[in-house]
């Protein structure tokens, strides 16, 4: 913007220096950097191969217990955002390991979390007095300020992806956190309680929305996958997304989480998408099959459980040589609420 047309003179430089100790800055000297004609992000496109993350996590398993670490997680930090613990400018991503017999102690915080289960033959998480078992591909929600703890009663390690709105909460200076004081919170509800009440296309009569987060806490993969399989028969592909469904809050039809939008999409065999860009930087997780995400010409060949990040407003193309399924999350709900979200279909 203006910056290009504002040149530096010795007088102006002296003025900028003079006002600096008085905590003032001339807008015209920085305007072009802060009001860009289109998004300019430090976040870069990147892919983490699951095998590498998994073996490093197992190394960490020999180094520290889940209890001592509180959460044994390797952060997937964007190489363009080093030292910030961010995967995108607004969102965090990590992969967590809970070894057989371990417990990740109960705590709560104002950051909201999603879990996307990568390997589990019997791990569980407890939220708000209810326990849920975790299976591959399940999308599990930890709403903000709810007590949560994790455990693994099976004899295999459990791995899942954590997506949190940490950078967003940090930006707003709204972080609170506390420990429960015991490893596990008391369980007061039967397993499956929230899915019975809220996940059967019904709601208890008179139910009133109490929080902005979906009352369903585990969206099991088999049900979401079955929906995609049924719809696949219609072959009504979106040219940019294939078949993309968003997880909803059954109370109001909105996103399942207030700060993080989550989707599951099917790319049919031999599909090549149209070019697409949107203002919500997106974290994709491979679930089934193999595919290719091309970001401004840079190719990422993904397999199940690999993680690919696409920054804001970068051109993305999807290709799949076989039926392929991707889970994804972004800050789209926040941008929509603020009237900021934009997309562009096709190249230009």
Binding site for ligand 1HN (CB under 6 A): 71, 73, 94, 96, 104, 109, 111, 113, 148, 150, 162, 164, 166
- Least gap, CB of 338 to ligand 1HN (angstroms): 24
Other C-beta atoms closer than 10 Å to the C-beta of 336 total: 14
Task: Report in angstroms how near the CB of residue 320 gets to ligand 1HN at its nearest.
Answer: 30
β-bridge mates for residue 75, sequence order:
94
Given the complex with ligand 1HN, which of 150 and 241 has the nearer CB atom?
150
Q: Across-strand partners of 4?
A: none
Given the complex with ligand 1HN, which of 165 and 288 has the nearer CB atom?
Answer: 165
Q: Measured from the CB of residue 179, what is the shortest distance to ligand 1HN in angstroms?
A: 11
Closest CA to 158 of 130, 116, 205, 109: 116
Smallest distance, Å, CB 255 to ligand 1HN?
20
Which stretches within 48-153 are classed as H helix?
50-63, 66-69
Q: State the nearest-atom distance from the C-beta of 86 to ligand 1HN, in Å.
A: 12
| Shortest Cβ 164–ligand 1HN spacing (Å) | 6
Nearest to 150 by CA among 170, 128, 127, 167: 127
Q: Is 178 or 343 the residue whose CB approaches ligand 1HN more closely?
A: 178
Q: How far apart are CA 193 and CA 127, in angstroms?
A: 12
Biggest CA-to-CA distance, the chain: 73
Please identify, using beta-carbon distances, which residue of 111 and 335 lies nearer to ligand 1HN: 111
Q: What is the DSSP letter of 144?
A: T
Shortest Å, Cβ 98 to ligand 1HN: 9
Report the sign of the C-alpha dihedral through residues 18, 21, 27, 31, in that order: positive
- For residue 285, the surrounding DSSP H or E stretch is strand 282-288
Q: How far apart are CA 260 and CA 114, in angstroms?
A: 8
Closest CA to 224 of 247, 241, 203: 247
Q: Which residues are CB-contacts of 292 (< 8 A; sequence separation ≥ 6)?
A: 299, 300, 301, 302, 318, 319, 320, 321
**Which C-beta is closer to ligand 1HN: that of 148 or that of 332?**
148
* Tokens (6 digits) for 290: 């193999």
Q: How far is the CB of 341 from ligand 1HN (least distance, A)?
A: 26
Residue 228: count other Cβ atoms within 10 Å of its Cβ.
18
The residue (of 110 and 347) whose beta carbon lies closer to ligand 1HN is 110
Is 73 or 76 the residue whose CB approaches ligand 1HN more closely? Answer: 73
Number of neighbouring beta carbons within 10 Å of residue 34: 9
Looking at the Cβ atoms of 111 and 185, the one nearer to ligand 1HN is 111
């Amino acid at each position: 913007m203006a910056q290009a047309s504002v040149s530096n003179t010795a007088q102006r430089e002296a003025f900028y220096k003079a006002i600096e100790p008085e905590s003032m800055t001339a807008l015209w000297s920085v305007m072009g950097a802060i009001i860009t004609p289109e998004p300019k992000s430090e976040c870069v496109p990147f892919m983490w191969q699951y095998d590498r993350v998994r073996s490093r996590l197992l190394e960490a398993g020999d180094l520290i217990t889940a209890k001592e670490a509180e959460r044994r997680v390797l952060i997937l930090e964007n190489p363009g955002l080093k030292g910030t613990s961010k995967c995108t400018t607004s969102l965090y991503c990590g992969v967590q390991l809970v070894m057989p017999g371990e417990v990740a102690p109960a705590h709560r915080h104002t950051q909201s979390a999603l879990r996307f289960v990568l390997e589990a033959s019997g791990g569980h998480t407890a939220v708000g007095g209810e326990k849920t078992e975790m299976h591959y591909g399940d999308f599990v929600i930890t709403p903000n300020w709810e007590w949560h703890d994790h455990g693994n009663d099976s004899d295999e390690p459990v791995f899942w992806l954590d997506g949190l709105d940490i950078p967003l909460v940090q930006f707003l200076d709204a972080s609170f956190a506390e420990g429960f004081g015991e490893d596990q919170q008391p369980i007061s509800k039967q397993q499956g309680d929230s899915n019975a009440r809220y996940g059967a296309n019904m709601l208890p009569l008179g139910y009133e929305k109490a929080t902005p987060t979906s009352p369903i806490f585990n969206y099991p993969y088999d049900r979401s996958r079955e929906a995609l399989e049924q719809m696949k028969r219609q072959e009504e592909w979106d040219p940019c997304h294939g078949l993309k469904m968003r997880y909803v809050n059954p109370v109001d039809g909105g996103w399942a989480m207030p700060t993080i939008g989550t989707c599951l999409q099917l790319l049919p065999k031999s599909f090549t998408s149209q070019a697409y860009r949107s203002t919500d930087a997106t974290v994709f997780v491979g679930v089934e099959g193999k595919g290719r995400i091309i970001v401004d010409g840079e190719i990422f060949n993904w397999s199940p459980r690999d993680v690919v990040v696409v920054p804001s407003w970068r051109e993305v193309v999807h290709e799949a040589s076989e039926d392929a399924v991707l889970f994804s999350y972004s800050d789209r709900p926040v941008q929509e609420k603020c009237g900021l979200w934009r997309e562009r279909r096709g190249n230009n």
